Every structure is written in C-alpha cells, then in structure tokens.
Homo-oligomer: A and B are copies of this chain.
Amino acid sequence: MGLAVPEEVVRVASDIREMRVRGAGRIAKAAATALMVAAERYPGSDAREFREYIRRVAELLLKTRPTAVSLPNAVSYVVGPLLRAPHVGSVEEARRLVVERASSFIRYADEALERIAEIGSRLVRDGDVVLTHCNSLAVVSIIKRAAQRGKRVSVYATETRPLFQGHVTARMLLEAGVDVTLIPDSSVRSLIRRVDKVIVGADAVAANGAVVNKIGTSLIALIAREHGVDFYVATETYKFSPFTLSGEPVVIEERPPTEVVPQEFLDKHPRLRVLNPSFDVTPPGYITGIITEVGVIPPSAALLVLEEIYGREGVREQASVAVDEEA
C-alpha cells in the first residue's frame, strides 16, 4: 500500500472539500503547496515508490472538488512531468522535480494576477463606466490599477443573487476610492446604454472559448451584444479546461434551494421546486476578448493557450484520460 499521506496534506484536502478554502485561485495554490509538502516529507529512497506515492496524493486532492477546473490543472502541472517521465531517476531528482514545479506554479499564479491587472487596465479608458457581475479578484484588480494610473473610472456592480457577491465587489472598490453603483441583476438591460464596457471573471474557460461563470453572466453578455457593448472576461489561464475536448459536457453545480427561499417557505409549500444553478455558460461568439496573463486573446484562441501551457501532447493526454477511463 506504500507510505501514508502526511497529516498536513490530508488536512489541505479536507479544507478544499469542505470549502474552508474557496475560490479557484486559492484552491489551485493550496493543492500545489500540498504536493510540495508531500514531496518534501517523503522519507523513502525508492524512486518508483515515490512516484506512486505522489500519484496517490494527487488523486486524493483531485477527488475533493470533482468539477473544479483550476484544481486538476494545478495538480497536472505539478506532477505531470514526473508521472509522464519514461524513467524516474533517483528520489532526489524526482522530489526536486515536484518541488520545483509546485513553486513555479505558485509563483506563476501570483504573477498572473498582477499581469492581468496591468494588461486589463489598459483596456479601460479615462472616463469609462465598467459593468461587472459577481465578485472577481481579477476584475477588481484591473479597475483598481486603472484608477491608480489616474483614469477616472466608475463601476456598475450587479448585486448578484442569490448570494449578493456584488456587495463584496462594491465594498472593495469603494474602499479603493472608485465610484460604485449597485443595481439589481434584472436591471442590466435598462442601464446598459450608460455602460462603456463589461468585464467579468471566469470559473472555467472551455477549449472552444466558452466561459463558465456565475449564473447571470451569459444574460449580460447577450445584452451587451444586443447593444454593441464590448464584453471582456478576465481570468488566469490555469482556469482553461481541456476536458471539453473529450466530449465531457460542462457540469453545472446545483446549489441548495435555501439560498433562494427561506426554509419556512419550502416547508409550507412542499410541492414547490427550486432550481439554483451556480454557473452559466457564455458562448464564445458573445465575448470580445479574454484578458489573461499572456495577453488579451480572442475566445477562439483558448485551445492555443491550452497547448501553450501543457504542450500539444499534454492537452491531448489530459483530454483522453476521461475517454480511456470510461471506454
């Protein structure tokens, strides 16, 4: 059965599963850190055993949130080279490989956000009114950077039912001195003519450039297109997903009804059904550009970006895992 997984790694896995660690970026970094720790703590000297041990840790982490995209991307980045290597070498070499990949991932994630802020802030012109939805760190960073650069920018933030993440966005921007107007989700079409551009975040980007993000995003994209308003998505590339390549449709998480109505309402009306999908999918044709740390790319370049990160073979390999598993 090989060596036990260290306590600390088990705890990180549990934190992700129980959502004590939240947000695509933090999850990805926590997983990379856990793998680094696991590699460092490995006491043995059998390189093949080490590889199996790392594979087990990877699988443990992957199972915590089966539909997240940033998680498998982070894990694959860190352990892929080791698992794919034709022969292993010494434990020291293998350990160094994992540790280096993990550090490199974390550093990359730290720098990516900074770079997105920088690149995205140039798309904001002086005097712009930007509309955003939900609470995206990337979007907030872009707006703040533009404001720091001396551009006058004001923001329309949707309240974002059912969890009101728009309040968080409003608070973050107000504290940075940016003017914010909070609006109900359903008022976007009435107000879109006052908006110069839309910028939202992403939970995942499919290989065809479709963007999975907080429910309501695709409505705003549709309205923006109806009015000829530019619609941008800001996201780190480690949220790009090769899985759609394998024909695996994006699974949209369904959240509890009590986020939408109080429990007593449900108790009183036992036949009432509530649907509360977390995310929706914005088609690539509605997206002007995706602001990433490697540049503002058209949605049609999503596959290119995937290949750039993992290499062409890496993309195919990941996409085919699912195929082979089920076949």
Q: Name the residue on B nearest A221 (C-beta).
A: B189
Is A170 in contact with B272, judged by CB distance below 8 angstroms? yes
Map CB proximity to B onto A166-190 as digits: 1 under 8 Å, 0 otherwise. Answer: 0100110010000111111111111
User: By CB atoms of chain B within 10 A, which of A123, A160, A209, A298 has the most?
Assistant: A298
A272-B308 in contact (CB<8A): no
Indicate whether A280 sits within 8 Å of B207 (C-beta atoms), given known contacts A247-B123, A319-B295: no
Q: A181's contact among B159, B181, B274, B319, by CB below 8 Å, is which? A: B274
| Separation of A161 and B260 alpha carbons in the complex (Å) | 11
Contact in complex: A218, B189 (CB < 8 Å): yes
Q: Which of A276-322 contact B (CB under 8 A)?
A: 276-277, 280-281, 284-285, 288-289, 291, 294-298, 300-304, 307-308, 312, 316, 319, 322
Flag if A249 contacts B125 (CB, 8 Å): yes
A174 contacts B275, C-beta separation under 8 Å: no
Size range of the interface on A? 35 or more
**Which of chain B's residues has its CB closest to A249's CB?**
B123
Decide yes or no whether A41 CB sits under 8 A from chain B: no
The smallest C-beta distance from A164 to any residue of chain B, in angstroms, reads 8
A183→B284 CA distance, assembly (Å): 25
User: Which one, A52-60, A101-109, A112-120, is touching chain B?
Assistant: A112-120
A170 CB contacts on chain B under 8 angstroms:
269, 272
When the two chains form their complex, are residues B207 and A246 in contact, meaning their CB atoms are under 8 A apart?
Answer: no
How far apart sit A327 and B119, CA to CA, in the bound complex (Å)?
9
A248 to B295, CA, bound (A): 10
User: A182-B272, A186-B161, A188-B219 are known contacts. Are A301 and B298 too (CB-CB below 8 A)?
Assistant: no
Please indicate the chain B residues that have their CB under 8 angstroms from the CB of A181 in the complex: 272-275
Stretch at the interface among A43-51, A67-75, A86-94, A222-230: A222-230
Residues of B within 8 A of A161 (CB): 159, 161, 184-186
Q: Check if A3 is an interface residue, CB within 8 A of chain B.
A: no
B interface footprint on A195-222 (CB within 8 Å = 1, 0 otherwise)? 0100000000001110000011011001
Of the candidates B187, B219, B244, the one whose C-beta lies within 8 Å of that of A215 is B187
Question: What are 23 A-B contacts defined by CB distance under 8 Å?
Answer: A115-B323, A118-B326, A119-B247, A159-B161, A161-B184, A171-B269, A180-B273, A182-B274, A184-B185, A184-B216, A184-B260, A186-B186, A187-B215, A193-B196, A208-B296, A208-B301, A209-B300, A222-B226, A226-B228, A245-B297, A246-B295, A297-B303, A301-B303
